[in-house]
Amino acid sequence: MTLYILKRLAIGIVTIWFIATATFIAMHLVPGNPLANEKATTEVIRANLERRYGLDKPVTEQYIIYMGNMLRGDFGIAFSEENRSVNDIIREHFPVSATLGVLALLFATLGGVLWGALTAIYRNRWPDYVIMFFVILGISVPSFVFAALSQWLILNLNQVTGSSILPVAGWGNFRYMLVPALVLGMSTMAYLTRMMRSSMLEVSNTDYIRTARAKGLSTTRIFIFHQLRNAILPVITVLGPAIAIITTGGFVVESVFAIPGLGRYFVQAVAQLDYTVIMGTTVFFGAFLVLMVILVDILYSFIDPRIRLQAEQ
Amino acid sequence: MNKAFAPALADFAPAPARQKMDTISRPSLSYWQDAWQRLKINKRALVSLYLVLGLLIFTLLGPILWNYDPALQDLDSISQAPSFSTTALFVDDPGIWEGVLLQESSTLPPVTGQSAVLGATRLNIEGTATTQYVRLSWEPVEGGAYYLVYRNDHQPESAEDLGLPLGQTLTARELSFEDRLQLQPQTYYYTIIASGGLREASDFATEAVELERAITVSQALERNLPATPGTRVELSAHPFGTDYLGRDLLARTMMGAQVSLFIGIAAPFIFVLLGVIYGGVSGYFGGKIDLLMMRFAEFVIALPFLLFMILFRIGFGIGPGESGIFPMLVALVLLSWPNVARIVRGQVLQLREEAFVQAARLLGANPAYLIFRHMIPNTMGLILVTLTFAIPMAIFTEAFLSFIGMGVAPPTPSWGSMSNEGIRSMLSTPHELLFPAFFISVTVLAFNLLGDGLRDALDSRMRSRE
């Protein structure tokens, strides 16, 4: 077990290092320059600015300095905003993205398990057809369309009822989070529903369910303690990738709903070619995702020992 | 004893020949024929197959049939709703309208008191009502100090439902109003209300006015149209409407389909091929090579996909607001092959141990024969299914990246970038978002359902339990 965790962590660290290096190289291949704006009017000012941000040093030295700083958890200073460190930006904007993401993940898993179980129970009857229709819709319609559509719906709803229970955009208390989180979790929910459905149907054909039924256990008991528990297992495996999808999906939802999250900030930083912010957020996002996937995998190996054995072989 | 049994030759007749007793009554089907039959039974898969074919025709033949420049801007027809035939009337340049003024000599109806203001009497339309201008005039109203003009797109039901307040006259002598505010060729309901100064009249007169699309002579000359006032001309129809620059949305949707489907189909083809080769080699040779190759594949899988798509774009030196179809393709290929490689490797590892492969090897088959005769045909179904599922993924990625402005940038249309442009005016002109979004959804849906059908038809082991 320890070996398994160590191995996963080692791959994870290499991945994060590679992400950081690739980001660094990509940044330096860009023909544009973050200082190529109205700030650097004369050569002297330009040289001074370059010295300040360490851009006058050779690339290898910059790389070493950057890596060293990153190991200490320091991502540098933002170019676009005077005297604002990238750490500050992440500290300010990441909690917003994380709150949204956690809520979306919650919706997606709860919804996915619930709908998936329902479709399996009512297999080939109308609840199954209705839910599966929406699942197909959820898989096929891009999230920005859902976002736009939900905004339009909220607007009309607010007009009809004459109230503003659900705000159209912005960030604040739970009322602001509800719809964006639903939109963000939508496609993941659809995938999980599909997965849960086939996994439930698979489990219902197993011997131990037949045995339980033969023992005379009640349907509810079999459903909750035998079927559901086993069927949920494969759903947990995709939670890692689901976190990645939801985090990056936040780029769209955050821009459509004008939510001050890190995803929206990242998109803006790319548009402004803000070196340090792009590098900082990429490495941060990358590290976060890699760690999440590892965490989910380790969690899964605790829940289902068969996976652990497979990995150690 | 009975009569002795003495058979004669005549007692024997040749039995009816039961021909082909040993042949199978059904024709034997090859794997692909069998798969095709199974696919044909699956209605959903068949419908989605037709949808895919239809989309391809739309993309490839559409621009030939609908020969319209997708980049042509027409600022006179911005954000038009879908329409099939549009004729426009040539009218003289509107010039300045003096309006209808009550003569100084004639007496105004007396202002009798605020409570007794009557609603405006019937409205007159001066000249022809066109999208260039609508000129209204009305009879003076007893007690009116000035008049308010409203416009609505439906028959007002109450005094609160008069629609857009267009303006008001300055004095009671002005008995006309010229409306030139964003006129569309539709029916408007104009309402004039007389105001006694403090209070508006409680009743109102509404007149429905149907507008005809019109082009002034000077506008026509700019567009090189032969213009004679009073004649009509057939304008280019826009079945999908136009966008915020007056570009034809149908032409743009077709052009966007070319970009979206090119990335959506070319990228999966390349990375599936790459994955098949990588996975095939890894699985066939096994051992140390396999271990090393799979470690590398696992590592690539661990890279956060969308972040790297954006990084690739930056690495290629494509600034914000520039189009990057090629880098997007390369990035998709470089980041997506490992999943295919893993699937193919697993299949090849399994096949290696199969009896028929062992037998072929025992008979002295060389590796090339084994790979091309046994391994690849047996993984073909799996590869096809993977490819079908990879296409919607790639289309989604393109749309997503273009939507956040990291993919295809204006003026090149793609469904994602068109949605990005359309979402800004979603509330007033929803068709600009709806058409590209609809096409993305239908394409992804069709490929997903086709993938499901193919999986059921080609590989019984992976069959979805539905």
The residue behind tokens 């909690």 is A95
> For a pLDDT cut of 90, what percent of chain A falls above it?
1
Please tell me the predicted confidence (pLDDT) of residue B466. 41
Other C-beta atoms closer than 10 Å to the C-beta of B266 total: 15
Question: How large is the average pLDDT for residues A169-193?
Answer: 84
Mean pLDDT, chain B, integer: 77
Q: Helices H, strands E: what count in chain B?
A: 13, 10
- Asked, colleague to colleague, whether B47-69+245-462 and B90-216 share their fold, the answer is no
**C-alpha distances in Å from residue B440, one per residue of A94, A192, B52, B417, B444:** 31, 22, 12, 11, 6
Residue A186 lies inside a defined structural domain of this protein:
yes
- Report how many domains make up chain A: 1
How much is the pTM? Answer: 0.75
Question: How large is the average pLDDT for residues B434-440?
Answer: 87
Distance of CA A69 to the CA centre of its chain: 26
CB contacts of B349 in chain A (<8 Å) are: none
Q: Please provide residue B152's backbone torsions phi and psi, each rounded to the nearest 5 degrees.
A: -140, 160
Q: CATH class for domain B90-216?
A: mainly beta
Distance CA B453, CA B306 (A): 29
Q: Which of A15, A26, A285 sits opposite B315 (nearest CB)?
A: A26
Rounded to 10 deg, the angle between the A262-272 and A86-121 helix axes is: 130
Q: Which of A25, A137, A142 sits opposite B440 (nearest CB)?
A: A142
- Find which of A248, A262, A264 to mutate to test the B interface (most B CBs within 10 Å of its CB): A248
Print burial letters for A233-265: b (CB count within 10 Å at least 16), e (below 16). ebbbbbbbbbbbbbbbbbbbbbbbbebebbbbb
Please tell me the predicted confidence (pLDDT) of residue B104. 62
pLDDT per position as a tens digit, B334-388:
888 888 888 888 888 888 888 888 898 899 888 888 877 888 788 887 888 888 8
- Find which of A251, A255, A272, A288 to mutate to test the B interface (most B CBs within 10 Å of its CB): A251
Question: How large is the average pLDDT for residues A164-179?
Answer: 77
> In this structure, what token pair is assigned to residue B236?
């280019």
What chain B residue is nearest to A249 in terms of C-alpha separation? B400
From B32-46, B136-150, B218-232, B384-398, the region with the lowest mean pLDDT: B218-232
Letter for the amino acid at B446? A
Smallest CA-to-CA distance from B263 within B402, B143, B153 is with B402
Q: Is the pLDDT of residue A154 over 70?
A: yes
Rounded to a whole number, what is the distance in Å from the CA of A269 to chain B's nearest CA? 10
- Find which of A270, A285, A313 to mutate to test the B interface (most B CBs within 10 Å of its CB): A270
Please tell me the predicted confidence (pLDDT) of residue A46. 74
Question: How large is the average pLDDT for residues B145-169?
Answer: 80
Distance of CA A295 to the CA centre of its chain: 14
Structural domain boundaries, residue A182: 86-312
Mean pLDDT, chain A, integer: 80
Rounded to a whole number, what is the distance in Å from the CA of A140 to chain B's nearest CA? 5
Residue A16 lies inside a defined structural domain of this protein:
no
What chain A residue is nearest to B310 in terms of C-alpha separation? A270
CB contacts of B307 in chain A (<8 Å) are: 19, 248, 282, 285-286
Please tell me the predicted confidence (pLDDT) of residue B116. 44
CB contacts of B405 in chain A (<8 Å) are: 267, 271
What chain B residue is nearest to A272 in terms of C-alpha separation? B320
pLDDT per position as a tens digit, A282-307:
888 888 888 887 887 777 777 777 66
- Find which of B334, B406, B432, B465 to mutate to test the A interface (most A CBs within 10 Å of its CB): B465
Rounded to a whole number, what is the distance in Å from the CA of B314 to chain A's nearest CA? 6
Distance CA B237, CA A112 (A): 45
Q: Which of A139, A198, A285 sits opposite B307 (nearest CB)?
A: A285
Q: Is the pLDDT of residue B10 over 80?
A: no
Cβ of B403 and A141 within 8 Å?
no
Q: Please provide residue A194's backbone torsions phi and psi, each rounded to the nearest 5 degrees.
A: -60, -45
Cβ of B299 and A148 within 8 Å?
no
**Which value, in Å, is the radius of gyration of the alpha carbons in chain A?**
24
Domain coordinates of chain B in residue numbers? Answer: 47-69+245-462, 90-216
Rounded to a whole number, what is the distance in Å from the CA of A271 to chain B's nearest CA? 5
Cβ of B306 and A273 within 8 Å?
no
Higher pLDDT, B182 or B36: B36
Question: How large is the average pLDDT for residues B380-408?
Answer: 82
> Is-contact B367 B376, C-beta < 8 A?
no
Q: Which of B299, B444, B465 sits opposite A15 (nearest CB)?
A: B299
CB contacts of A143 in chain B (<8 Å) are: 400
From A99-108, A180-189, B130-139, the region with the lowest mean pLDDT: B130-139
Residue A27 lies inside a defined structural domain of this protein:
no
Q: Is the pLDDT of residue B287 over 60?
A: yes
Q: Is the pLDDT of residue A22 over 70?
A: yes
Cβ of B437 and A12 within 8 Å?
no
From A49-63, A96-110, B118-132, the region with the lowest mean pLDDT: B118-132
Rounded to a whole number, what is the distance in Å from the CA of B304 to chain A's nearest CA? 6
- Strands across the sheet containing B176-179: B123-126, B134-138, B176-179
Distance CA A295, CA A21 (A): 23
From A263-267, B86-90, B280-284, the region with the lowest mean pLDDT: B86-90
Residue A154 lies inside a defined structural domain of this protein:
yes
ipTM confidence = 0.78
Kindly report the CATH number assigned to the domain that includes residue A239: 1.10.3720.10
Please tell me the predicted confidence (pLDDT) of residue B270. 92
Rounded to a whole number, what is the distance in Å from the CA of A81 to chain B's nearest CA? 19
Paired strand residues for B191: B150, B206
**C-alpha distances in Å from residue B189, one per residue of B63, B181, B428:** 40, 14, 19
pLDDT confidence bin for B463, thresholds 50/70/90: very low
Q: Which of A18, A144, A155 sits opposite B423 (nearest CB)?
A: A144
Q: What is the rounded (10 degree) CA torsion for A157, A161, A167, A172? A: -140
Asked if CATH classification 1.10.3720.10 holds for the domain at B47-69+245-462, the reply, yes or no, is yes
From A75-89, A150-164, B104-118, B210-224, the region with the lowest mean pLDDT: B104-118
